[in-house]
Amino acid sequence: MKWTYFLFLIFTWAAVNAQSEKPPVPVPEHLGDLSSSESKRKAPGTAADLQSLLKALSGKWTVTVKFEPNPSMPNGFEGKGEETWRSGPGGITAIDEEHIPSPGGDLFLLGIIWWDSKMKSFHGMVCDNQLPHTCDLKGALNDITMSWDGKQLVIDEIETHDGKKTLWHEVWSDITPTSFTQTGDISEPGGPAKRFMTIHGTKDPDAK
**Mean pLDDT value across the chain:** 80
Query: How far apart (Å, rounded) are the C-alpha atoms in residues 43 and 124?
Result: 12
CA dihedral in degrees (54, 101, 191, 13; nearest 10)? 140
Query: How far apart (Å, rounded) are the C-alpha atoms in residues 53 and 26?
Result: 26
Residue 42 has pLDDT above 90, yes or no: no
User: Within 10 A of 145 (CB to CB), how many other CB atoms are there?
Assistant: 23
13-203 sits in which CATH class?
mainly beta
The 10s digit of each residue's pLDDT in 96-130 is 999 998 877 899 999 999 999 888 889 999 999 98
Output Rg (C-alpha) for the chain, integer angstroms: 16
H or E segment to which residue 57 belongs:
helix 47-57
Alpha-carbon distance values, 80 to 70, 98, 108, 188, 201 (Å): 20, 11, 13, 29, 10
Lowest model confidence (mean pLDDT) among 102-106, 158-162, 195-199? 158-162
Query: Which range, 16-25, 157-166, 173-182, has the best average confidence (pLDDT)?
Result: 173-182
Residues, the chain, total? 208
Percentage above 70 pLDDT, the chain: 76
Please compute the mean of the pLDDT values over residues 73-86 and round it to a whole number.
92
Query: How far apart (Å, rounded) are the C-alpha atoms in residues 66 and 140?
Result: 26
Residue-level pLDDT at 167: 93
Query: How far apart (Å, rounded) are the C-alpha atoms in residues 94 and 139?
Result: 18
SS3 37: helix
Residue 53 has pLDDT above 60, yes or no: yes
Residue-level pLDDT at 208: 58
